[in-house]
Chain A
Amino acid sequence: MSSKTTFIGAVEIGTSKVTALIGEYTGREIVIIGCGECSSRGVIKGSVVDYRAATECTHNALEIAERDANERIDHVYLAQTGGHLEGFYNEASLNVKAADNMIEMDDIRTVCDLAKAKELPLGRMVVHNIRRPFRVDGRLVPTSPENLVGQKLEVGYWTVHGQEQRLADNIHVIRGFNLEVRELVLSSLASGHMVTSMEERQNGVLAIDIGAGTTDYVLYRNGAPHTTGVAAVGGGHFTNDISIGLRLTEGQAEKLKLRFGRALVQSRDKSEKVWLDGNFSIGDRQFSRQAIENITAARAWELLEVVKKKLGHAFSPETCAGGVVLTGGGAKLPAIAECAAKVFGTSARLGEAPTWVNENLRDPGFHTALGILYYGVSVQSDRTATARRKGGFLRNVTRLFAST
């Protein structure tokens, strides 16, 4: 083993499952050597509500991953989601100081500090500061404006913040395994980066990660994240609606959703029936396929409408040439891409993991964990390559989500 080899851990504590991945990073490439998955308990809508249960299943997943990798890790990158996460945009402008109007590093630093400085309500903490491209006299500058000539320098930040206690709960679950949380990574940023290409991000693309309890989304523009958000609705609500509508247990409803649910109603025959189990066992019942499709389609439409509403004016088909990319466990619902295309009025497709990802990990449910691992690699390579430079966090986020 090379002395440069480092082991990177990525953990996603989701509402339906906990995923842990371990990657071996050699300085040039990453090899996923361990994967652990465990059904989630004690987590509702991405927030820990039962510490003991959440700890148990998270630690199980970590143990499986470590056993699979046959290596021990000492830190992880943790996905962060939940309805408590919110974002706002704040921008600042600055008159260039130099007599010849040439922008210096000091000007950039000052305008960035001004744009990031916004007092948060009590109990709220910043999770990410995502910088949008600079503008020099109204001209868009995607990279650093240093040494450009102009009179006015502007920059804006999309700041994601969350509730302190919820963030602390997630961190403490990991600390309970005696692991350090190196970074918190927004789930939407992680999965969005995995399923979209650089070109799509440049042209504008909306990535939607439909989880069991929450739906995370990120809108890219000009190659960088423009807006992120979390809708407290997920695939679990589809199951819940089927359960209530057809008077079934949650397990039965989940089974029907997975087998017959669709995001658009296809069945025209009201009399078409489907069996609950289909094995002629006692208690097996028949249900109308159209009824199931009606419920799931209505829910899917509603979920996507919620996302569209939350995006507001930030999204328009004209500024989102890349369309909509769907990922997460909920994206496995048939016809969800067509449904999204109708809701957003643009093209839509299902997200796919990059070609280098192993076949076993290409399921949409792994996209977030893979994105976190990729983020960890970027941080690690940035640390080793530019260990002398400071200000890592902002640079890492910018580097990861602004370029391939």
Chain B
Amino acid sequence: MSKDTHTLPDTRTWREIPQQVRPRAMSIEGRRRMTMGVMRVAIGSAVILGVSWGVWEMAGVLRENPDSMPEAAKADRVRSLVLVTDGVLDKNWLAKTLAVAPDATLMGLDLNQMRQRVLADAQVSSAAVIRNFPDTLVVRISERSPVARMMAQAGGAAPKMLLIARDGAAFAGTGFDPAMVETLPWIDGIRLSRVAKGLAPIEGMRAVSDLLASAKLEAENLYRTWKVISLAHLSTDGEIEVYTRDGMKIIFGTKEDYLRQIARLDLLVDESKDPTRPLRVVNLALGAQVPVAYGTAAPTLGNPPSETLNAQSARPQVAFPSISNPHIDIHREL
């Protein structure tokens, strides 16, 4: 072999002849074919665009107005309801909430309306309703977790307990374990207001929730004694007042770290074990200086507000009249 393949001469082939030709050099038929070719591409593109637009529109119509579906598409009846949740609500609650008619067809259901029904219960934070062909309606929900509870009375009706979530939403609380509910502290010092779809969220619950979470995590022995949380001075002074089962009032400030305040409280409680001089008031909202008031006699254990609500005579013997009336009236705004 005498030659290296890398240095071979570059042989030209007929394929290097450009096949472009000027329209002027084309015959009439050639120009007509070229025009037809361009038009075919244009018409093809237009048809594809038109079909895509039509499909999009049709999908929109079906999504917005299922009644416009042909009868054949409505044929399948809803035979099963499936609930997918991260909380405690069950299938019975779903059936009761949706109230799907026995002869309702899957395509005949208004999914938006179904979703609104599910969301009407404040215990549900988000919901999605899905048709699972041929005959199943799937509801996926995310539930709120309660951090506290309260008693509410609308007009002349009997008072009833509501659970309060971290975002301030108040809800009846279906399906929760009563033992768990018993451990939740009561909320006091607020007025509920009604909005278009239920109750307005309680302001300041995030701060309360953070305080309760910190206490539960870092000093559960103290948290277990907390009975009532008052938000009466939260908006004005930035203070959260906690009343314990043994009649002590603890004032937390929202501007300082809760962990530090809880640590100080823990120290104070540990250092003040004298039964003759029980702690009555501890103000942790003033920073490093913690004013403390002592009592003279052992306090009487108070009853939970739910029990005191209905019978004034059974109200706890507490030293602070400011929380003596845990009744909460629902203020109708709308």
Contacts and interface: CB of A to CB of B under 8 A. Distances in A.
Q: Do A and B bind each other?
A: yes
Interface of A: 51, 55-56, 59, 63, 72, 92-95, 110, 113-114, 116-120, 124-127, 162, 164, 167-168, 171-172, 175-178, 180-181, 184
Contacts of B29: 59, 63, 177
B21 A175 contact: yes
Interface string B37-63: 100000000000000000000000000
15 contacts: A56-B27, A59-B29, A95-B1, A116-B11, A117-B9, A125-B17, A164-B17, A171-B17, A171-B19, A172-B21, A172-B25, A176-B27, A178-B26, A178-B31, A178-B37
B10 to A, nearest CB: 8
Contacts of B1: 92-95, 110, 114
B30 interface: yes
Interface string B2-27: 01010011011110110111000111
Nearest to A109: B5
B33 interface: yes
Contact of A117 (B3, B14, B30): B3
Nearest to A95: B1
Contacts of A56: 27
A372 to B, nearest CB: 15
Nearest to A51: B25
A181 B14 CA distance: 11
Main secondary structure of the interface of A (DSSP, over half): mixed
Contacts of B11: 116-120, 126
Nearest to A184: B14
B12 A59 contact: no
Contacts, number: 80
Contacts of A127: 13-14
A114 B8 contact: yes
B27 to A, nearest CB: 5
B34 interface: yes
Q: Which of the listed residues B3, B8, B13, B20 has the most CB atoms from chain A within 10 Å of its own CB?
A: B13
Given A119-B9, A171-B19, A177 B30 contact: yes
Given A125-B17, A126-B12, 9 more contacts: A72-B33, A110-B1, A114-B3, A114-B5, A125-B16, A126-B14, A172-B25, A175-B20, A178-B30
Contacts of B9: 117-119
B25 to A, nearest CB: 6
The 7 closest A-B pairs by CB, nearest first: A117-B8, A119-B9, A175-B21, A178-B33, A126-B13, A177-B30, A178-B34
Contact of A177 (B8, B13, B33): B33
Contact of A125 (B8, B14, B20): B14
Contacts of B19: 171, 175, 180-181
A6 B89 CA distance: 64
Interface in B303-324: none
Contacts of A92: 1, 3
Nearest to A58: B27
Given A92-B1, A126-B11, A126-B12, A59 B17 contact: no
A180 B26 CA distance: 13
Nearest to A169: B17
B267 to A, nearest CB: 80
Given A164-B17, A175-B19, A180-B19, A55 B12 contact: no
A76 B13 CA distance: 18
A125 B16 CA distance: 9
A167 B21 contact: no
A264 B30 CA distance: 46
Contacts of B20: 175
A125 B10 CA distance: 11
Nearest to B26: A176
A92 B9 CA distance: 14
Nearest to A116: B11
B216 to A, nearest CB: 67
Given A117-B3, A171-B19, A125 B25 contact: no
Nearest to A172: B21
Nearest to A181: B19
B27 A55 contact: yes
Interface string B172-193: 0000000000000000000000
Contacts of B25: 51, 172, 176
B151 to A, nearest CB: 75
Contact of B13 (A55, A93, A119, A125): A125
A59 B25 CA distance: 13
A232 B186 CA distance: 113
A252 B196 CA distance: 107
Contacts of B5: 110, 113-114, 117
Given A168-B17, A172-B21, A177-B33, A120 B3 contact: no
Contacts of A171: 14, 17, 19
Given A59-B29, A114-B1, A117-B3, A176 B14 contact: no
B165 to A, nearest CB: 61
A175 B29 CA distance: 11
A113 B11 CA distance: 11
Nearest to A171: B17
B282 to A, nearest CB: 83
Contact of A162 (B14, B26, B31): B14
Given A95-B1, A113-B5, A164-B17, A125 B12 contact: yes
Nearest to B35: A178
Contacts of A113: 5, 8
Contacts of B34: 178
A265 to B, nearest CB: 43
A379 to B, nearest CB: 14
A181 B18 CA distance: 11
A110 B2 CA distance: 12
A167 to B, nearest CB: 5
Given A114-B1, A117-B3, A177 B14 contact: no
Contacts of B16: 125
A142 B37 CA distance: 45
Nearest to B4: A114
Nearest to A110: B5
Nearest to B33: A178
B12 A120 contact: yes
B26 to A, nearest CB: 5
A125 B15 CA distance: 9
Contacts of A119: 9, 11
